[in-house]
Every structure is written in C-alpha cells, then in structure tokens.
Amino acid sequence: MTEPVAERVLVSFEPDGAPARQVRVPAGVTLFDAASWNGIAVDSTCGGHGTCRKCVVRVVEGDVPVSRLDPRAFGADELRAGWRLACMAPARADVRVAVPPLVTRPKAATVGVGRQVILRPAVQKRCVQLTEATLADQRTDLERLLAVLDDLEVRADLHALRNLPRALRSADHRVTAVLVDDVLVDVEPGDTSDRRFGVAFDLGTTTVVATLLDLGTGTPVAVSSMLNPQQPFGGDVITRISATMMDPDALGRLTALAHSCLDQLVGEVCATGEVRRHEVYEIALAGNATMTHIALGIDPEPLGVAPFVMASRSFDGMRAADLGVAVHPGAAAYAFPALGAYVGGDIVAGALASGMDRDKRVRLFVDVGTNCEIVLSDGDRILATAAPAGPAFEGAQIRCGMRAAPGAIESVKISDDDVALQVIGDVAPVGLCGSGLVDAVAALVQAGLLDASGRLLAADVAATVAPGLAGRLRQVGQERVFVLHGDIYLSQRDVRELQFAKAAIATGWRLLAGELGIEPADIQQVLLAGSFGSYLSPTSAVRIGLVPGVPVTRIVSAGNVAGEGAKMALLSLRERAAAQALLEEVRYVELSDRPDFNDRFIDELSFPT
C-alpha cells in the first residue's frame, strides 16, 4: 500500500551567500517553480523546460529521485551527492536545497559608438524672480509664473501646483520652474537650474544597463548594469512569451521583475553620482518589442505567434512611474518605437546612434544575440530583418557554456601543440561564454581539426593533421569533444549549435544584400553591436562565416549602441524625431515567409574553406 502524498510540502532553499528561505508549495511542484514563485533566483535560460541544464541545485536533505535528464547533466558522484536539475525535480515531501549563486553582474558593454548631438533635452529649468501679490494685483501664483514664461506654451500638472505656493513664499518668490516638454512638473525654491538629470536604459533580454546623464552638460555621471532578473522565465523572448501564455500570473511577475530591476539600477547610479532621485526628471528606454511590452504590462502573446503583431509601435505620454521607477513624481518616460515584433526599439536606437540613415557607405549592422537583428544600407535604402540565432551566443545549450562572468573563457587561440585561453577575471576557467565559443570553433577550423561540415576529426586522423593537439580529442559518452582545459570541453553538439546560429545570421544578411542587389564584398563597414558583439573577435567571426569575408579593418565593435541611442533621446528632441523618421525610412523584411530561406540556411551551415 503506497503512502499518501502530502497536499503541501516545505521546501527550504539555501541560496549561496543569501539567507535561507522556507516556502510551502503544493506537493509535486518542481523545485524550479517553487523557487520562481517565491522570488528565489535559480539560473535558467530555457524557462524550466529541461533543455538548458543550467538550473542546478543540490538536495541536502530529503528524497528527490534522479530524473531521466539528470544523468546527462551530472556524473555518478554528483548524482549521489544530491545534484539535480531543479526543473525536473518534483518536491513530493519536505526537502532542503542548496542553490548555487546566480551571476547577476555579467560582463556587459556599457558604452558604444555614438554621434555628437545638438543639446536640446526635453527637460528645461528656468530660474525666475516673481513679484509678490498685492490687493491691487491678485493674480494667481500660476498666472504670475506663466507671465514670465510667456515664450512657452506651458501647462501645469497637479504636483507643480501643490508645490507652487510654498516654493514661492519660502524663497522670496525666486524659484526654478521645471519643465518637461512644455509641461510644468515642479516649482523648486531658489535657483536649482544646474541640477537636472535623466537616466537612459538599455533594457536587454539578458542584461540591463542604466546611465545617469547630466542634462545640462550632456555628460554621463554614472553607469550600472545587471542581469535581467526575468532569466528564470527563459533566456530568450520566445520562452518568456510562452510563460505568459501558460500561466495567467506570469505577466504580472515579469512586469514586477522589470520594474524592480530598473528601479534598482536608478538607485545605484544615483548613489554613485551623488544625485537625489527627485532630481531625475526623465528616463529613456531602448528595448526589444517583447521587453518593452512586458515592462509596460502589455500582453506579449501576439508577438509570439503569426502574424507577430505589436500592440503599438510607439508609446506616448508615459511617466517614469509607469515603468516602476521612483524618481521625480512628474518625470516623463520615453520608449523607442519599434520597426516590428522582432526588430524593436533597441535596434531603432542602435541605428540612430550609428547613423545608418546618414552615411552613404554600404554598411551592415548586426546585433548578435538570441534574436539577431540585422540592418543593411546601401547609402540610399535601408532594410532590416531578424534572424532566430538561438541562445548559443549567451552560452546556453552549450555543454560547458556559461554567461560572460568571472571564470568564463572569452578567448581561445590554438597553435600547433598548445591552447591559450583568456579568462574573464583572470581566474581559473569554469566554463565557456559566447565569444570563447566562436573563438574555439574558428581556431579548430583553422587548425584543420574541424572540417567544413563542422565535424570534429577522430583522434587518429587528427594525429596526422596536428599531432600536438590530437590528445585533446576524446569521447564523452557517445560524443566526440575537444578538451580546452581540465573538464571544460567543446562538444560536437556545441559546434552544431553554433553552426545553426551563424547560418541563421548569415542567411539574414545575404538575403538583405540580395534585396538591395549588392555583393558581400561591396560592404564597406560591418558594425557588431551589443554586449556580445563588443567582445567577439572580428577575425573569428569572418573565419566561421558569421559576417561577410571583408578585411577585418572594416569590422567595428560598435558596443552598446542601443544605450547610446537612449542617451541621445534624453539629450535631444531632434534625435527623437529622427528615431521616429526611421520607421518610415527602414523597410522590414520578414524571413519566416521567404520560400528560399530554408535552402539558403542549409547552404550557410558549412564553414568557409
């Protein structure tokens, strides 16, 4: 007779470096869901579907059986020690679980290629001296203020009116009017005209970057970044959209996580820059369509299913409070408009910052990531598309993969008999991040240990090609691998993951080139954008066929151009108008309905010879 299963069980989570948490959940709920529901960070990029193998935990006390996927992630000794994939581990009785630390500050690009702008922010401050009211002159306080601002068409919000009487009388009627796009949002006692700030956000799927700007001078004051806390819901936009479709409460939790992240970063940059929160009068946000929709609490489901429809391209009239950011109560918020469901505001911001609409050269802009966005211009026409590259560049779905954090191998060089590694943080290597993956594959192709089809050579064959390296080619289970360091290796499946990713991207830019009637050799500049693009070796990118085979001097690491675009939007109303104009200038090309996409994709799987 089987014992009855308890209706609810007690799960004690012991996160590394954080206080233990005890939660009660329905019996049978996975450890991953139990953690996610209660705000406990467990690493994941697949959203709890058992494919990324990142959600590792150790069962310290209690019985959690080994799942069918656990042996693929752990050795026999690790399984006996209690290591499990949290998303495959149901809690059927009380259990105590140790949770490894989640990297919350991955290596990220915080600056990028930008342009000089004419300083004309939406936030203005005017210090004025008003006359006092008398029995003979009983004009209202607001009428007196507007009289000296007669060159502007100003309307006052309620917060400003609440402050106006006290501000005037506490400062002998010498006050500073704070205006955001001709809206009077505050009246401050005395002269505070030298204190006006804004925060520019790059709201990425993986990393979020915030930059505090002095709007009077246009200079950055402080910058901070962190891992997007929505990671437990999935490492890419599709899995996060899927989460909202499967769980009616998921959207609310995702929105709350976005808000807490943005607000935390504001707190950090304000503390670093010695700026009070209420001195931040505007924020600007550049994010892909899914991240922007979720941050605003808008259902993203239509973005994830054909015909891939956004709620809106633009979001006007927003306040910072709509994004959960506690700054000045009247602070406005600007979000970059999107070209399409998968070419969002971050790409419009990047195109703005890199001047894709202003340069007469043939230029290719590639934001390399899980969803890779591509913009190509021949100097007159601009095309854009999105290619489903998958999570390989983030280190996901890679056997020894990890994010770009201390311990990650970020660069690999292979000589005749040696492997040289560059590790983030100059510490012992613990895994392989995206740039290291590209380097490793490119180096193996150059060494002749990977053939054009992407197949690793057998050790005996490799011994005739590169005798000093043949010993690194081994078998792990049924799979051939190349050992990089200790137990860190590149597997045959890892190579295939990268091939699929690079083929999707190469197919995208080649199809755009065909639309414009240009050859890859005609491309005069390649911009590699985003955090990953900043650390990607141009030589390796060319060697594997990720970008056109042009001289590496034509390839520029553009860095965080989305963040640069967000800064420009804060500093110049003219640049905002230019961003809006890009919606009319850029033609979006949908790849999913191209009949030739699959054939071209297959052609791009092989490595250039």
Taking only the tens place, the pLDDT of each residue in 537-565 is 999 999 999 999 999 999 988 888 899 99
Spell out the alpha helix ranges (H) of 286-415.
289-295, 301-304, 345-353
At residue 447, does pLDDT exceed 60? yes
Kindly indicate the confidence band of residue 2, based on its pLDDT and cuts at 50, 70 and 90: very low
Domain borders along the chain are: 8-99, 123-189, 198-335, 346-391+498-603, 395-491
Average pLDDT, the chain: 89
Average pLDDT over residues 354-368: 92
pLDDT at residue 28 in the model: 85
pLDDT at residue 290 in the model: 95
Distance, in Å, from the CA atom of 528 to the CA atom of 608, rounded to the nearest integer, reads: 20
Domain with residues 346-391+498-603, CATH architecture: 2-Layer Sandwich (3.30)
Residue 454 contacts residue 499 (beta carbons within 8 Å): yes
Q: Give the helix/strand (H/E) hosting 447.
A: helix 434-447
pLDDT at residue 568 in the model: 95
User: How far from 261 is each of 32, 74, 400, 540, 572, CA to CA, in Å?
Assistant: 21, 33, 28, 34, 26
**CB-CB neighbours of 458 under 10 Å:** 12
Count Cα neighbours of 538 within 13 Å in the Cβ-side half-sphere.
Answer: 16
Q: Does domain 198-335 have CATH number 3.40.50.2300?
A: no
pLDDT at residue 17 in the model: 65
Determine if the peptide bond prior to 65 is cis (ω within 30°): no
Residue 216 φ/ψ, nearest 5 degrees: -80, -35
At residue 265, does pLDDT exceed 80? yes
Total residues found in the chain within this entry: 609
pLDDT in tens, 508-520: 999 999 999 999 9
pLDDT at residue 16 in the model: 73
Residue 255 φ/ψ, nearest 5 degrees: -65, -45
More confident residue, 151 or 337: 337
Average pLDDT over residues 61-87: 87
CB contact set of 70 (below 8 Å; sequence gap of 6+): 79, 83, 84, 85, 88
At residue 218, does pLDDT exceed 70? yes
| pTM attached to this predicted model | 0.81
More confident residue, 4 or 192: 192
At residue 3, does pLDDT exceed 50? no
Residue 294 contacts residue 304 (beta carbons within 8 Å): no
Distance, in Å, from the CA atom of 470 to the CA atom of 476, rounded to the nearest integer, reads: 15
pLDDT at residue 110 in the model: 46
More confident residue, 3 or 164: 164
pLDDT at residue 49 in the model: 65
More confident residue, 117 or 123: 123
Six-digit token pair at 70? 């656990």
More confident residue, 232 or 301: 301
pLDDT at residue 109 in the model: 47
What fold does the segment set 8-99 form as a domain? Ubiquitin-like (UB roll) (3.10.20)
Distance, in Å, from the CA atom of 456 to the CA atom of 200, rounded to the nearest integer, reads: 45
Distance, in Å, from the CA atom of 189 to the CA atom of 177, rounded to the nearest integer, reads: 9
pLDDT in tens, 170-192: 999 999 999 999 899 999 999 99
Kindly indicate the confidence band of residue 1, based on its pLDDT and cuts at 50, 70 and 90: very low
At residue 423, does pLDDT exceed 80? yes
Q: Give the helix/strand (H/E) hosting 83.
A: strand 83-85
Domain with residues 123-189, CATH architecture: Roll (3.10)
Q: Give the helix/strand (H/E) hosting 516.
A: helix 492-516
Asked whether this chain's domains 8-99 and 198-335 adopt the same fold, the reply is no
At residue 102, does pLDDT exceed 90? no
pLDDT in tens, 33-64: 788 666 677 777 665 667 677 788 899 999 89
